Amino acid sequence: MVIIIKKRQNKLVMSIALLTLLALIIVSMMMGRYDLSLSEVSKYFIGQANSSSKLILELRFIRIIAVVLVGAGLSMAGATFQSVFSNGLASPNLLGVSTGSSVGAAIAILNGKSIYWIEISAFITGILTVFLTLLINKILRSNSNITLILSGIIMSGLMQSVLGSVKYIADPENQLQSIVYWELGSFMKVDSQALISVGPILIVGIIFLLLTRWRLNTLSLDTYTIKTIGINPTLNRNLMILFATLLTAASVCLCGVVGWIGLVVPHVSRSLVGEDNRYALPMTAITGAILLLIADTLARSISVNDIPLSIITGFIGVPIFIVILIRRRNVGI
Neighbour tally for 155: CB within 10 Å:
24
The whole-number pLDDT of residue 331 equals 59
Cα 168 to Cα 162: distance, rounded to the nearest angstrom: 10
Cα 198 to Cα 105: distance, rounded to the nearest angstrom: 13
List, for residues 150-197, the tens digit of each pLDDT value. Answer: 888 889 899 999 999 999 999 887 788 888 877 888 998 888 888 998
Cα 266 to Cα 201: distance, rounded to the nearest angstrom: 21
Asked if residue 281 and residue 132 are part of one domain, the reply reads no
The whole-number pLDDT of residue 133 equals 86
The whole-number pLDDT of residue 143 equals 65
Does 41 reside within a domain? no
Please name the amino acid found at residue 321: F
Asked if residue 204 and residue 132 are part of one domain, the reply reads yes
Work out how many domains the chain is built from and give that number. Answer: 2
Proportion of the chain above pLDDT 90, given as a percent? 37
List, for residues 286-323, the tens digit of each pLDDT value. Answer: 999 999 999 999 999 988 788 889 889 999 988 988 88
Cα 14 to Cα 152: distance, rounded to the nearest angstrom: 32
Does 75 reside within a domain? no
Q: Is it the case that residue 255 has pLDDT exceeding 70?
A: yes
Mean of all residue pLDDT scores within the chain: 87
Asked if residue 262 and residue 227 are part of one domain, the reply reads no
Cα 306 to Cα 138: distance, rounded to the nearest angstrom: 42
Helix/strand/coil for 61: helix
Domain that holds residue 119: 84-186+197-254
Q: What is the CATH number of the domain that holds 93?
A: 1.10.3470.10
Does 148 reside within a domain? yes
The whole-number pLDDT of residue 295 equals 96
Asked if residue 238 and residue 292 are part of one domain, the reply reads no
Does 108 reside within a domain? yes
φ/ψ of 187, rounded to 5, equals: -100, 10
Does 288 reside within a domain? yes
Proportion of the chain above pLDDT 70, given as a percent? 95
